[in-house]
Structure 1
């Protein structure tokens, strides 16, 4: 079970996007994430008429390492660490600071 999943709200801990928040759009491999609006780079694309691609300069979101993000806790307003506990035979993610469940957020 991964501590950070697709659809989670995270806060960036390091880099040029530090202290910005975003939603995880995809998990890339075992230790990288794609976060909407975070780590956006300019990519020079060559035109390809076979794929109907006009080319030019486009913006692209690049993966960020999982160690550079923390799960955002709406109650405390901070990024926090997560632990995984088994409650009633079901593995759930729990914030370390206050013990509230991550999965039962609404």
Structure 2
């Protein structure tokens, strides 16, 4: 799934949900740009999978921008429909994550 998502992002064949755009604009650690989302997805790895999500399976990707900013991106991938949707984007709070990859209990 990651390789397919990265290929779609690499060639600009993805969409942002309204929620993702709202989160990008109001991020508490500073606005997140579209370019940063692309960079983080392309350098990222899947840290959580949500195969039962509807209408498409989704996953949480952790990646870093070219400036080393950590980002979490939830992406839905519709293989049969040939679509990637960025559901939400945020800069993870280090108080809630271990190395930005595992949730603190």
TM normalised by structure 1 equals 0.22
* Higher helix fraction (1 or 2): 2
TM normalised by structure 2 equals 0.22
Larger radius of gyration: 1
Q: Report which structure shows greater RCO (CA 8 Å, sep ≥6).
A: 2
